[in-house]
């Protein structure tokens, strides 16, 4: 490993001129550090990473994307059910209000799940938080499947709320769980598993909710509940999911169990490597007056800047227009001259591109620093959103602008997944130490769900008033995130949170490049 190519914040190991002069224990230490730098997968770590992602993140994404295609049939069923059970014949406005309630109650559940995530994660543990998500997902799926049999719109609404609750817990707790079980050099790699799972869930939902599959008048209840298969498969071996060693050591003070869990997660590594991680936990556990409650974190000036970054990143991700783009893409494809069927499949292609690029997330997080990735992503996402708004505004005047709009959509999705998509989900785990981390990441998740709700409620109205210019504010959000990152985000890759905390402790007067 060349010392001149070491990334910022990582261990810098200079190759000695006289290798014979190195003591055996020092040479072993250097080898251990090189192993940490390269990262390593153990069977247990892979099981936890992939199992937790497939069992919770993919179902959360599935619930986000499954309602679009069968919406027409579900609305008709709701109307017919209310007529038969209560003799309520809703007009068009009444059906729109009811459907908006069914859709938005998922976001309300997500916000509540995000807020409770910190308390659950601190009190019961990161692993238990993940397991609770599975239980709630199973209950919601059972209600989704039976609501049609029971002819109960109320059951459908409750199921949507519970699915949102589980999804909120997932986005608040899963990135934290994965980042804490990962070695330092692989923290970003596992950190992107949650957004990658969410993206995969949306695409899987788009496939199974096609009218030619399950998204039709007779089988929509199967489409909206099918994620239960993934949950049951991944949660069956629940005893093999290990608890976060950091939570056991720092929050519970159970040093013996923490070491046992750490040894299982790391697999075949030297005793020195284990001891070094234990020493880092001990140093963090000895820090006095670590805050952990919402009130304490919100009032602590040293935590104000990192908290603003976490909330701005998670909320800004939703305000960057990704959901609005997917909402609007079908009509753009239709304007480009595609048939309704072709537009539906092209929309699926856009979702598939979103998933494909997200699969490169682990490589990108392992290879590149956070700051340049996020700067690169926000800048070009803002550029192509602005170009999309302009081309869409003049789409009826120039024939090729329709295809230009499609190109801008695909390019925006491409650059979104380089940083704006994955980094907000785990940046809190790199900016905060163990004690305040759950509350900070829960507030960030709450910001995400609140902004998602805002976009969902306001976008149709603003689109009607502003037309294609509605995408300009999304572009501005991307540029504001670019400026926030440029000035206030320290490089977190390869650094322990205790090092990063010092760089942002002075709030907006912080020198994030100190110690370079």
* Residue range 204-224, pLDDT digits in tens: 998 898 888 898 999 999 999
405 CA to centre of own chain: 27
Q: How many CA atoms lie within 13 A of 338 on its CB side?
A: 18
Residue located via tokens 């190109």: 407
Closest CA to 144 of 87, 59, 85: 59
Identify the sign of the CA torsion 118, 121, 122, 124. Answer: positive
pLDDT in the model for residue 222: 95
CB 206 within 8 A of CB 69: yes
Residue with tokens 């109650």: 105
Q: What gap in Å lies between CA 411 and CA 383, rounded to an integer?
A: 10
Global pTM reads 0.79
186's tokens:
């692989």
**Residue in this structure with the two tokens 């008048």, named with its chain if needed:** 217
Token duo for residue 10: 């990582």
pLDDT recorded at residue 383: 96
CA angle 218, 221, 226 (to 5 degrees): 125
Q: Which helix (H) or strand (E) holds 119?
A: helix 92-124
DSSP 197-238: HHHHHHHHHHHHTSTTTT-STTTHHHHTTTTHHHHHHHHTTG
**pLDDT at site 33:** 52
Q: 433 and 281 in contact (C-beta within 8 Å)?
A: no
Which residues of the chain register pLDDT less than 50? 1-24, 28, 31-32, 34-38
CB 294 within 8 A of CB 443: yes
Please give the Cα distance from 352 to 354 (Å, whole number): 5
Torsion 191-196-199-205 (CA) sign: negative
Could you read off the pLDDT of 419-474 as tens digits, one per residue?
999 999 889 888 988 888 888 888 998 899 889 888 877 877 787 788 888 889 99
Cα distances (Å, whole numbers) of residue 49 to 128, 155, 426, 456: 15, 33, 14, 31
C-alpha to C-alpha distance for 190 and 195, rounded to whole angstroms: 10
C-alpha to C-alpha distance for 103 and 455, rounded to whole angstroms: 13
Query: How many angstroms separate the CA atoms of 480 and 486, rounded?
Result: 10
Q: How far apart are CA 269 and CA 262, in angstroms?
A: 11
> Looking at residue 38, what is its pLDDT?
41
Classify residue 300 as exposed, middle or buried by CB count within 10 Å of its CB (0-12, 13-18, 19+).
middle
pLDDT at residue 13, as a whole number: 36
Distance between CA atoms of 99 and 160, rounded to whole angstroms? 12
Which structural domains are found in the chain, ordered by start? 42-242 (1.20.1250.20), 296-516 (1.20.1250.20)
């Amino acid at each position: 490993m060349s010392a001149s190519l070491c990334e910022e914040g990582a261990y810098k190991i200079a190759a000695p001129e006289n290798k014979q002069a190195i003591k055996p224990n020092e040479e072993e230490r250097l080898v251990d550090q090189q192993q940490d730098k390269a990262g390593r997968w153990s069977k247990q770590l892979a099981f936890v990473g992939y199992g937790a992602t497939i069992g919770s993140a993919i179902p959360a994404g599935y619930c986000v994307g499954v309602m679009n295609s069968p919406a027409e049939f579900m609305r008709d069923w709701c109307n017919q059910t209310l007529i038969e059970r209560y003799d309520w014949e809703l007009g068009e406005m009444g059906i729109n209000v009811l459907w908006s309630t069914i859709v938005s109650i998922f976001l309300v559940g997500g916000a509540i799940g995000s807020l409770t995530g910190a308390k659950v994660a601190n009190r019961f543990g990161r692993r238990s938080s993940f397991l609770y998500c599975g239980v709630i997902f199973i209950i919601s799926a059972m209600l989704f499947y039976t609501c049609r049999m029971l002819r109960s719109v109320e059951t459908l609404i409750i199921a949507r709320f519970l699915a949102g609750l589980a999804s909120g817990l997932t986005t608040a707790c899963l990135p934290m769980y994965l980042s804490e079980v990962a070695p330092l050099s692989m923290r970003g790699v596992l950190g992107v598993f949650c957004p990658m799972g969410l993206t995969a869930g949306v695409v899987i939902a788009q496939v199974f909710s096609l009218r030619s599959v399950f998204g039709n008048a007779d089988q929509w209840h199967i489409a909206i509940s099918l994620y239960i298969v993934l949950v049951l498969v991944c949660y069956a071996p629940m005893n093999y999911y290990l608890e976060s060693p950091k939570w056991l050591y720092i929050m519970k003070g159970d040093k013996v169990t923490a070491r046992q869990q750490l040894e299982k997660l790391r697999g075949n590594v030297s005793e020195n490597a284990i001891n070094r991680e234990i020493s880092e936990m001990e140093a963090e556990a000895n820090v006095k007056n670590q805050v952990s409650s919402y009130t304490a974190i919100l009032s602590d000036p040293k935590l104000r800047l990192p908290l603003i970054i976490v909330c701005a990143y998670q909320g800004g991700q939703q305000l960057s227009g990704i959901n609005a783009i997917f909402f609007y893409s079908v009509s753009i494809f239709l304007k480009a001259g595609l048939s309704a069927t072709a537009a539906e499949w092209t929309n699926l292609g856009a979702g598939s591109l979103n998933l494909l690029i997200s699969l490169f997330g682990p490589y990108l997080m392992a290879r590149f620093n956070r700051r340049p990735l996020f700067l690169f992503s926000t800048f070009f996402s803002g550029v192509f959103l602005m170009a999309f708004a302009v081309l869409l505004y003049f789409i009826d005047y120039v024939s090729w602008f329709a295809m230009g709009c499609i190109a801008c959509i695909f390019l925006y999705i491409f650059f979104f997944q380089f940083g704006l998509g994955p980094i907000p989900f785990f940046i809190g785990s790199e900016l905060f130490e163990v004690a305040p981390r759950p509350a900070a990441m829960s507030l960030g998740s709450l910001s995400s769900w609140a902004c998602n709700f805002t976009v969902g409620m306001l976008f149709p109205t603003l689109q009607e008033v502003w037309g294609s210019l509605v995408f300009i504010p999304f572009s501005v959000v991307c540029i504001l995130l670019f400026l926030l990152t440029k000035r206030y985000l320290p490089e977190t890759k390869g650094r322990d949170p205790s090092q990063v905390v010092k760089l942002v402790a002075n709030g907006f007067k912080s020198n994030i490049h100190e110690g370079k």
